[in-house]
Chain A
Amino acid sequence: MSEDKLNELHNLKINKEKNKIMIETSPADIRDVSRFIIEKMGVKHLTAITGIDEGEKICIIYHFWSEGNFINIVTRLLKTELKIESITDIVPGALLYEAEVHDMLGVFFHGNPLMGTHLLLPDTYPEDIPPPLRKEITPEEIRRRMLLE
């Protein structure tokens, strides 16, 4: 993994330890950064997209894998504005991973055709309660809402 190429990307917080490279970026830049990684650095494989509820913000991590290194793009969204651009046209394999984050945390990916549908949750999941991995809701609450309404 060439550090020089990564340094071409300016004003990014890059942190490398062992085989992990963490690139912190703002949600607006996610398409540019991922396009840079795919096209300029020749990374082919998107391993996964993780969504984490951090309280006020939701952290989305794009894990890419290339030549012995995990390249992770970390971006954080405010819960009041959970919208981000989809990267499915750059990496078609991101389709289901984005849909999973959408399903579990309610992040809306602009341009992903699966938004507004359930990937893993049942069709009966109530629309007026938060998605299940959010901290606002407990499993007990979901169970109560889904069954004893």
Chain B
Amino acid sequence: MSDKDQAEEKLAKISTGLIQYSPEGLVPFGPVHPALKEPEYFKIILEGEKIVQVIPRIGYAHRGIERALQDRNWIQAIYLVERICGICSFSHSLAFVQTVESLTELEIPRRARYIRLIIAELERIHSHLLWLGLVGYWTGFDTLFMWIWRDRERVLDLIELITGNRVHKSYATITGVRRDLPENIERHIQPAMKYLSDRVKFYKEIINSEATILIRTKGIGWVSPDVAVRLCPVGPLLRCMGFKRDVRTDDPYAAYDEIVPDVKTSTDSDVHSLLNLRLDEIEDSIRMVLEAITSIPTGQVKSSIPRAIPRGDAMGHVEAPRGELFYFVRSEGGNKPVRVKIRTPTLANILTATEMLKGHTLADVPVVLTGMDPCFGCMDRLTIIDIGEGKRWQINGEELRRYGIEWYNKNR
């Protein structure tokens, strides 16, 4: 047994607390798999239908963004961090921008803080709806999937109306947001929120009454909160275990000190409680968006952006839809960051998810594994290889083939 296998075995022991490794019954789950929208590999070891071990191998979407950020100035960096994730792109730029702002003594206009809240909450609605639809897909309930994704379009339309883009919003900037809200935006937001709130009620009814959804999610993925909390999970995964922890109330940013979120928790710590919890959060987000849009103050949305950022270390975090998103920035006074460290919620949750799978069957894998709402693109970013700028991998198909064959011969 090689060192690598030993290490994997130990990882599985720590992460799942399970006993044996047997090469029999190994089922590959990824890197390319219909249940995963992004490339990630989970070795699943089965005994019959029962899962004995889950061994994650991450890194398939690794693009070297942390290294690339060191070669970009502060403004360029905002647009690069946004591209880490397509779903929570605003959370990434917001976390980065807030971390940088905490190094300076800049005052953020009150209107800009309200606008940040509105976009962050719209993004949360869209992300939770997306996840909820995918739960339908993973449990084989395609109708629910299609319905929810259609409703999600309403939120995306609103985001497009405000920021100009559906996915990569390019909206947050140091000292504020880039553009003011369009005029009469509440005329678009209010009916859309009304519609969504009705739909969320309807979906709540479905997931609490539809028999097949209930038996697929209730009690599935149960994990002892005392064990799980030591693995440092974040976000809804932590809140469904009964821990009332939310960055929006623990460390208020944007306008969360004035419009206070109602942090919901559950004590069931299973996939069904995650469903209910996320639906509750959508309802709360709808309330906050409506509240913010009626009480938004007038004024500037940004002040002048400094070229250089003072020397120092800064940590910042926001509550992304998936949980706490952490940024560390070190500045040495120049126009570029010296080091940017990003810790995404998925990386924090993955150990807990493997723990949740313990003792369940293969049929539960997609539901549980994706119950934490994984975003592997987020998780994998980090250092090296591709810093863009036209310097591409100079490799053609024939070379790639030769390289693949050589690698295979060497390593099989």
Contact = CB atoms under 8 A, between A and B. Distances in A.
On whether A and B touch (CB less than 8 Å), the answer reads yes
A126 interface: no
Given A96-B351, A133-B66, A147-B395, A113 B231 contact: no
Which secondary structure characterizes the binding site on chain B? mixed
A18 B317 CA distance: 15
Contacts of B330: 52
A117 B383 contact: no
A117 B7 contact: yes
A142 B328 contact: no
Interface string A74-96: 00000000000000100111111
B229 A132 contact: no
Contact of A97 (B4, B234, B343, B394): B343
A94, A113, A115: residue with the most chain B Cβ atoms closer than 10 Å: A113
B258 interface: no
Given A47-B317, A63-B315, A133-B383, A120 B58 contact: yes
A143 interface: yes
Contacts of A116: 3-4, 7
A120 B381 CA distance: 9
Contacts of A72: 315
Nearest to B70: A133
A68 B231 contact: no
Nearest to B243: A44
Contact of B382 (A47, A104, A124): A104
A70 to B, nearest CB: 5
Interface residues of B, number: 53
B405 to A, nearest CB: 13
Contacts of A63: 315, 326, 328
A119 interface: yes
B343 A117 contact: no
Nearest to B399: A147
A119 B10 CA distance: 14
B347 A142 contact: no
Contacts of A147: 393-395
Contact of A120 (B6, B13, B59, B231): B59
Nearest to A46: B232
A16 interface: no
Interface in A106-149: 113-124, 132-133, 139-140, 142-143, 146-148
B324 interface: yes
B380 A95 contact: no
Given A68-B251, A114-B11, A120-B380, 6 more contacts: A61-B313, A91-B232, A113-B14, A120-B382, A133-B67, A142-B384
21 contacts: A19-B251, A22-B313, A46-B232, A47-B326, A48-B328, A50-B339, A61-B328, A63-B315, A91-B230, A92-B231, A93-B351, A95-B11, A96-B350, A97-B347, A116-B7, A120-B380, A121-B59, A123-B411, A124-B407, A133-B383, A142-B384
Interface of A: 18-20, 22, 44-48, 50-53, 61, 63, 65, 67-68, 70, 72, 88, 91-97, 100, 104, 113-124, 132-133, 139-140, 142-143, 146-148
